[in-house]
Structure 1
Amino acid sequence: MTVYSLGLLLASLAALVQAQRPNRPNDLNITQAQGNAYGCSSKACLENLQTFEALDRPIFGDVPFNYDFYATADNFTKSKPGDLLKLQQQNSTLYDITPGSSLWFIQYTSVGVGGQPVPSTGFILLPYLSEASNKTPLISYAHGTIGTVTACAASSSYNGYDYDSWKLLPPHGFAVVATDFAGLGNNYTTHKYGNPVINSEDVYFAVVAARKAFPNVFTTKWASLGHSQGAGAIWGLEENPRVASNQSGEYMGGVAVAPSARLNDLLTAVPLSEGYGFGPLIVNVFQSLNFSIQPPVLTPEAMKRYPLMNALGLCDNSYAGLNFDLPNHGILKPTPEQNKTIHEAYTKFQDQYGAATGRKGYKDFLVVQSHDDEIVNYTATIKAYDFACKKGNIVHLSVYHNLTHDESMAASASEWLKWLSDRISGGEAILSSSRLAKDLLQLALKSRKTFIVIDGIDECPRDDRREICTFFRNVVDSLPRNTMDEIRCLFVSQDDGIARKDLSMLSTIKITADCNRQELAAFAKIWQIRIEEKFGTFSEQELDIAAVVTARSQGMFIFAKCVLEELFQQPSREALLEEWKADSFPSELDDVFLIREEIIDTGEANRELFALSIAYLCFPEINPKTNASEIEAALVTGVFAFYEYAVATWTLHLLDWLPTAKKDQILDLGEDIEAFIDLHTTDMPSVQVISKPMQDKLKALQILEAYSSLAQAIVWQRKSPRI
């Protein structure tokens, strides 16, 4: 009897498996047997697939697929999101990357559906640094559509799936961490295609893992960039509450070029009958989630072929050709009932997993869109932009013309590179010195009878919560007993387990929706009594003030207060009843604050506020060359109290004033405008294009010698709201 060594047997089996697997998963050509099994036995189908598979191969080049690296790490099961699982340096000579840079593959733990940990892969590219002591700014990059199966990992491409995209970053000094997205490369889970919420987790935790891979290499501030599917992920990241924490460093915002943010809007603007190549991808969107509604997208013949995507490793081009020979390219012509199901699925998915659907945005955000994009339709992006802005998120939109979907990334590079650089090198004015912050607070607290409200403390990192609460608690506790009522602090937080524990040192008032409704009703009832004392009693049918105002207020005291005061100020009973009519009575908060031109001269008010703002911004302390110690001294004395308002609104007041501005008024402000321009536009970036509509708005200013510089400053200010 022959006895074989188990170790030798396993080694032989491993070698046999390795010898049998192809250089790349998508090197497999379809066989006749596969064709027969999956409804692709015709000559046309077989030839189409071979043709389109051949188009995929140049995307990846001659670099072998690193099967061992993409296999799930042994330490994954005990890991937590953001943990680094594998780090492997690559031979840079095999890749088309920035000269002098180093390339590393990473596997890390991300978050999937339901908050479950999943492994994800990607790469880190470190640019050459002339000074080893310099820290490198990091950009988390998210690629566009490449496929939905494991064979389609962007990191397995000879150039990291670059199409004049991420490779534009390293020459400008940026390091890049680029996720493959979970399910591409590694096969632990399926890829969740076109899912801004889930995809954003991979973009975020790639940064956390990159910092663990290279401690003290990157600057604290980081930003993000994405195209197409990746741009949707960046929009999802913008609304992901994780970026408000300090786990990843300090997130400064992102750029989304041609973003696929809202599935239903995209497929309404460009239906699958026109974008048929995306049919198999839309099936993945819902199947990969086991979504509650599976919309009928493909014909039965096309659905039979769907498993070939995974079996053959079909990526960017070949999945589009999978059903090329079928009638209507395999896209189902739905019945009215099927249309109803499709619409229900699309809208439900968009609400649950889309971006720009009502979630809070956390940082400034730049959206770049071509008016002539043939894949991500312009109208869908505008709809997402409008929706996000109406929710109060800070989104900047830049529209280009005559660019295809793929061209928009490189063509807009000068803008988004500058935008990213500005955010990481500058960004928002943040009081980063806790010592100075406490000095300012102590100064403010010297004004007795002080009431401080700190809203949103639950959004601060936990250590910061404790420090803030402890500081204010110590201030209050240090007061003599006879003056303890001179300072009151109110912390507003969501009522969750963590906040309850962190704020346990404080007395608590729990406010529920029922409490609010009852208080609103009582508030409205008191006002109804006052109104009836002035105008006489009203029947419920005639004027049920308390009930209607309470219902319309939707929990907002400010709405109720404004409406009730307005009713009380009416000159007569008849005027009050006229205001109460349905076409006059406000239905939402915005309607309450309408400024009537006969009450306020908006033109004159805007002129005065514009003049005040530019005069203030010429104060010596606002000079860009002022040193840090002088700025600290000015902060404590209150010089900067008007700063944020002046910076944010000087252009708004100017543009609102110009339609009614008189020539002599403009000339009177000429010297102030020139002083402002001389002080703040010396280091202004490259010349901005002044659009025809903007030229028309600024026509009245052409009498000024400083017109050209002022026009440039206005356009730049509107793109980047800071001096």
Structure 2
Amino acid sequence: MPFLALAGLSTQAAAAGGVRGGEHPVPCALGVPAGPGGADFYEPPSPLPRGRHGDLIRAQRIEAPGHARACKILYRSTLHDGTPVAVSGLVVWPDGAAPSGGRNVVAWAHGTVGGPRQCAPSAAPNPARDLDDYFSYQSPFGIDVGVPALTQFLAAGDVVVATDYQGLGTPGVHQYVVGATETHNVLDSVTAARQLRPVRANNRTAVLGWSQGGGAGLFIGQDAPAYSPDLDLVGVAALAPAADLGPQFAGLVLPGPRNASSEAHNAALRVNVYRGFLAAYPELRASDVLQPAGLDALQGDGEACIEHFADVIQNNVADQHQLDTLFQPLRDVPETWSRRFYENTPGYATTVAPVLVMQGTADTVINPHSTEQYIKRACGFSQPVEYSTYQGATHNTIPFEAQQEYLAWIADRFAGGTAPSNC
């Protein structure tokens, strides 16, 4: 698919990031190239510049909220197997002088937007904004764009950095819910942001993740010391995390009303998982999990962002019986797949930092029962784990309904307070 209309919108999105009316891209800092404008920003040099994971490749000024500055960034990262890749994202920080100890960093790990590279959140027009939920009447976007409570974090003096993840924006098949790849991408975004001298970021980092990004955050809590030992991870806050891949994505019954739309959405997520795992693990075979109709859908997952992809599935596969024709029966899925699902399910190792998990009871995307299974595993270790449920909150409302809790919890982690636990 030609990489022209970023974020499934229009060529206006490709022109986002301070490139207006023929203006040249504006660098973010001395010594860091701005790179080309438009979609070409996301085309990394080939071969990649030598360096370490987390090294900046380019950084370009974009529109920011009031009293703040923002840049799109392209930086080095790695896949789960250590293969170097370029990853895009954005960094936003308060204007004015930083404290003497530098600014704390909040790393945002976004939720599912789909498989194609044009679905990168940073590629949308003016992406440095408070979260625009795709399902709200006010959103002009085809995906979720922005960061929950961005302006509140900035008002607190924090730097906010938001990765797109590998394969979204930059070339390559997005390794969706492959824990180590997402962990590397998020941690390296923090390292990259710290290299922008005007940002004045210190090494104290909190992670806030939602859905796909919530699961990524839980892995970050387990893996950060080995991959990024120079970062001080103070806490991980996870909103409706993809934390139990077996029951969540293997097609088991989810709570809540069953209708064609929710069935198609969860089928789209399942195909997205399979495509990501096929990209990450060469020994896996698509035909082991997908029937011929599902193999056709697998190609579509590389063309359309998640909600568009779900609509296409709903249009072509109208009911549950027909949805079953996409997938091989679970009893026939080989152990090679089950082993990879287990490896990418967090909670079987301790985290190095306190964890806050927030889950809506009316969520029909992330099964609340699967979140409870993660909590049981995580509570078997010594780190504090706080689990909060929000009655009636859905998958899309939880970032807003839980906002006061995670804002206060992250601020308390930066202040050095004792983390709560209700294990």
If the length of structure 1 is used for normalisation, what is the TM-score?
A: 0.47
Residues 65-118 of structure 1, C-alpha deviations (whole Å, 9 max, x = no match): 62221011356242221111111112x1xxxx5212111111111110312221
Cα separation, partners in 2 of 1:137 and 1:112, compared to 1, 3 Å: same
Report how far residue 198 of structure 1 moved.
Answer: 1.8
| Matching residue within 161, 184, 195 for 2:168 | 184
**Equivalent position of 2:195 in the other structure:** 212
Q: Work out the CA distance in 1 between the residues paired with 2:297 and 2:422.
A: 49
Q: Work out the CA distance in 2 between the residues paired with 1:214 and 1:380.
A: 42
**Equivalent position of 1:286 in the other structure:** 277
Q: Work out the CA distance in 1 between the residues paired with 2:387 and 2:379.
A: 10
**Equivalent position of 2:248 in the other structure:** 266
Which amino acid is 2:68 matched to? Answer: S
Could you tell me whether the CA contact under 8 Å between 1:105 and 1:122 is conserved in 2? yes
**Equivalent position of 1:526 in the other structure:** none
**Equivalent position of 1:301 in the other structure:** 293
Cα separation, partners in 2 of 1:163 and 1:141, compared to 1, 3 Å: closer
Could you tell me whether the CA contact under 8 Å between 1:83 and 1:108 is conserved in 2? yes
Report how far residue 124 of structure 1 moved.
Answer: 0.5
**Equivalent position of 2:109 in the other structure:** 142
Report how far residue 230 of structure 1 moved.
Answer: 0.6
Residues 464-522 of structure 1, C-alpha deviations (whole Å, 9 max, x = no match): xxxxxxxxxxxxxxxxxxxxxxxxxxxxxxxxxxxxxxxxxxxxxxxxxxxxxxxxxxx
| Matching residue within 98, 112, 122 for 1:155 | 122
**Equivalent position of 1:173 in the other structure:** 157
| Matching residue within 343, 351, 365 for 1:361 | 351
**Equivalent position of 2:410 in the other structure:** 420
Q: How does 1:500-649 map to 2 (within 5 A)?
A: none
Report how far residue 324 of structure 1 moved.
Answer: 2.2
**Equivalent position of 1:318 in the other structure:** 308
Cα separation, partners in 2 of 1:98 and 1:343, compared to 1, 3 Å: farther
Q: CA RMSD in A?
A: 3.0
Cα separation, partners in 2 of 1:338 and 1:142, compared to 1, 3 Å: same
Report how far residue 257 of structure 1 moved.
Answer: 0.7
Report how far residue 405 of structure 1 moved.
Answer: 0.4
Which amino acid is 1:104 matched to? Answer: C
| Matching residue within 41, 48, 57 for 1:69 | 41
Cα separation, partners in 2 of 1:321 and 1:273, compared to 1, 3 Å: closer
Report how far residue 393 of structure 1 moved.
Answer: 4.0
Report how far residue 294 of structure 1 moved.
Answer: 3.5
Residues 140-174 of structure 1, C-alpha deviations (whole Å, 9 max, x = no match): 11100011111111101124312645454223322
Cα separation, partners in 2 of 1:247 and 1:408, compared to 1, 3 Å: same
Could you tell me whether the CA contact under 8 Å between 1:98 and 1:170 is conserved in 2? no
Q: Work out the CA distance in 1 between the residues paired with 2:360 and 2:43.
A: 39
Q: Work out the CA distance in 2 between the residues paired with 1:113 and 1:123.
A: 22
- Local SS of the residue matching 1:288: helix
Report how far residue 315 of structure 1 moved.
Answer: 0.9
Cα separation, partners in 2 of 1:77 and 1:61, compared to 1, 3 Å: closer
Cα separation, partners in 2 of 1:219 and 1:81, compared to 1, 3 Å: closer
Cα separation, partners in 2 of 1:167 and 1:377, compared to 1, 3 Å: farther
Could you tell me whether the CA contact under 8 Å between 1:122 and 1:179 is conserved in 2? yes
Q: Work out the CA distance in 2 between the residues paired with 1:377 and 1:343.
A: 24
**Equivalent position of 2:387 in the other structure:** 397
| Matching residue within 108, 126, 141 for 2:75 | 108
Residues 656-702 of structure 1, C-alpha deviations (whole Å, 9 max, x = no match): xxxxxxxxxxxxxxxxxxxxxxxxxxxxxxxxxxxxxxxxxxxxxxx
Cα separation, partners in 2 of 1:207 and 1:102, compared to 1, 3 Å: same
- Local SS of the residue matching 2:205: strand
Q: Work out the CA distance in 2 between the residues paired with 1:354 and 1:291.
A: 19
The answer for unaligned runs of 5 or more in structure 2 is 17-37, 128-144, 255-261
The answer for unaligned runs of 5 or more in structure 1 is 1-20, 27-55, 429-716
Larger RCO, structures 1/2 (Cα 8 Å, 6+ apart): 2
**Equivalent position of 1:387 in the other structure:** 377
Which amino acid is 2:338 matched to? Answer: T
Which amino acid is 2:239 matched to? Answer: V
| Matching residue within 70, 75, 89 for 2:61 | 89
Is 1:24 matched with 2:16?
no
Rg larger in 1 or in 2? 1
Cα separation, partners in 2 of 1:61 and 1:420, compared to 1, 3 Å: farther
Which amino acid is 2:180 matched to? Answer: V
Could you tell me whether the CA contact under 8 Å between 1:140 and 1:176 is conserved in 2? yes
Residues 612-647 of structure 1, C-alpha deviations (whole Å, 9 max, x = no match): xxxxxxxxxxxxxxxxxxxxxxxxxxxxxxxxxxxx
Residues 225-265 of structure 1, C-alpha deviations (whole Å, 9 max, x = no match): 110101111001000043686423x2211101110022102
Which amino acid is 1:64 matched to? Answer: A
Q: Work out the CA distance in 2 between the residues paired with 1:71 and 1:173.
A: 32
Cα separation, partners in 2 of 1:137 and 1:343, compared to 1, 3 Å: same
Q: Which has the larger share of helix?
A: 1
Q: How does 1:198-237 map to 2 (within 5 A)?
A: 198-214=181-197, 217-237=200-220
Which amino acid is 1:259 matched to? Answer: P
- Local SS of the residue matching 1:198: helix
Could you tell me whether the CA contact under 8 Å between 2:351 and 2:383 is conserved in 1? yes
Cα separation, partners in 2 of 1:427 and 1:347, compared to 1, 3 Å: farther
Report how far residue 218 of structure 1 moved.
Answer: 1.6
Could you tell me whether the CA contact under 8 Å between 2:272 and 2:301 is conserved in 1? no
Which amino acid is 2:416 matched to? Answer: G
